[in-house]
Amino acid sequence: MFDAMAQQQLISLQAAGEQNFSYESTTGEIPSAPRNLDTTTEQKKEQVLHMYHQPLDLLLESIELGLWRYDLPLNRLVWNNACKRHFGLSPDTEVTLDLFYELLHPDDRATTRQTMERSIAENSIYDIDYRAIGMDNQLRWIHATGRCFYDDHNKPEHFDCIMVDITERKRVEQMLRQQTDLLKELEMRKDEFISMASHELKTPITSIKGYTQMLQNHSKKAGDGQALYYLSIMNGQLNKLIDLVNDMLDISRMQVGKLNFRDALFDLYTVVQETVRNIQATTHTHQLSIEGVPGVQIFGDNDRIGQVLINLLTNAIKYSPHANRVIVHIAADQEYATVSVQDFGIGIDEAHRQKIFERFYQVHDTAEKGASGLGIGLYISNQIIKRHEGRMKVESVRGEGSTFSFTLPLFQRGKSLS
């Protein structure tokens, strides 16, 4: 980019031992501050620097990079045009340190002054964002970075820095912050709504469930088969509603870290067997089978592990409408037990596989096929497994089926869950 000869000449001049020169731009914005130099050398140097700085000035101007040099012994401040524009100043304005501080936002003056003074005193990098209120009354955010240079006796000689107008960046950052705050607020309101709605629903549903059972008993005694048939359908639907409300309650409790766990030692095979039996009773379309060995001891909440299994089994049935079997497998190594639920249903595309463990995530095409749900079962299940220090994962082939599995650490004496 620079003229090679000009650079070579400049290097030779420097090698000749001349020091203490400052650069001068072709526009005359950053004049040299010659000290103790003979005229011939000075002229040569100016010629070289003239060539050297022309493209550099053009470049700096084109990217609106402000250049600042403060000559400490002479108490003289020099800015290029871009820098002056940051403060709404015309190119011919004489700048001083006092004018600079005057043009800063009152709240940023003291910090900027302290940062610069500290940088000079401690030979540290000056790096700061501040607001300038320009002569044109415009507020601009400026990012400045620089440092002080010292003479042979360690006396501060000049303080140089570059400045960039970052107003647009700050505006976008502020907008993003506002949007994030708004999203958090909406998320909070949604959580509050879910919590309130599920609590409000729980009481009437429990009451309906109680009366349904009373009616079932009554119909049984009266030998009313038709009423019993309708009541059993009603009961099935009520159970689905209760599951949904319980999931909603769990999710609200999870948000505030108040999901209860009653930990104890339990036999994993027994929990799997009981859950499979209960779910089998609710379906005529699928045959559920268990493979694996009994005798795996786990320390944790067996009801919550049962809840995870219910979710995986009902999903396996729900998302395999054209299949007729689901296999539950239990295995164990030295440290972990693994339970997997395999179905032969619609499967899940890779793009969705990790996301389905997120709150309210549903694969749209499966939802369109009429499967009901809120997209919270897997989220809750995953959280329960994590709380037991296990891991949950899914393997799936679209159109062939899915295998959801979770691990649980085997019971070890003297170790309890956090």
Is 344 a binding residue for ligand ADP by CB under 6 A? The answer is no
163 CB-contact burial (10 Å; exposed 0-12 / middle 13-18 / buried 19+):
buried
Structure tokens at 148: 């002080």
356 binds ligand ADP (CB under 6 A): yes
Does position 363 bind ligand ADP by CB under 6 A? Answer: yes
Which listed range, 50-58, 232-240, 309-317, 329-337, lies at the site for ligand ADP (CB under 6 A)?
A: 309-317
Decide if residue 311 touches ligand ADP (CB under 6 A).
yes
Residue of this chain nearest to ligand ADP (CB atom): 373
| Interactions with ligand ADP, residue window 151-210 (CB under 6 A) | none
- Shortest Å distance, C-beta 248 to ligand ADP: 11
Our finding on whether 250 is near ligand ADP (CB under 6 A) is no
Q: How far is the CB of 257 from ligand ADP (least distance, A)?
A: 20
- Cα 357–Cα 289–Cα 279 angle in degrees, nearest 5: 60
Strand order in the sheet with 392-397: 287-292, 325-332, 336-343, 401-409, 392-397
The encoded tokens of residue 365 equal 């095409």
User: Judged by CB under 6 A, does residue 251 bind ligand ADP?
Assistant: no
Q: Are 53 and 80 in contact (CB under 8 A)?
A: no
Is 128 a binding residue for ligand ADP by CB under 6 A? The answer is no
Nearer to ligand ADP, 300 or 377 (CB): 377
- Amino acid (one-letter) located at 153: H
Cα separation values, 376 from 96, 131, 185, 245, 379, Å:
64, 47, 21, 11, 5
Tell me how crowded residue 353 is: count the other CB atoms within 10 A of its CB: 16
Instruction: Determine, following the binding rule CB under 6 A, whether residue 327 of this chain makes contact with ligand ADP.
Output: no
In one-letter notation, the amino acid at residue 341 is V
* 410 Cβ contact list (under 8 Å, min separation 6): 296, 297, 298, 332, 334, 335, 336, 337
Q: Is 377 in the site for ligand ADP (CB under 6 A)?
A: yes
Name the one range near ligand ADP by CB under 6 A: 77-85, 208-216, 326-334, 370-378. 370-378
Q: How far is the CB of 392 from ligand ADP (least distance, A)?
A: 11
Nearest to 198 by CA among 251, 235, 159, 162: 251
375 binds ligand ADP (CB under 6 A): yes
Restricted to residues 382-411, the positions that interact with ligand ADP (CB under 6 A) are 402
With CB under 6 A as the rule, give the number of residues binding ligand ADP: 22
Binding site for ligand ADP (CB under 6 A): 311, 315-316, 319, 343, 345-346, 348, 356, 361-363, 366-367, 373-379, 402
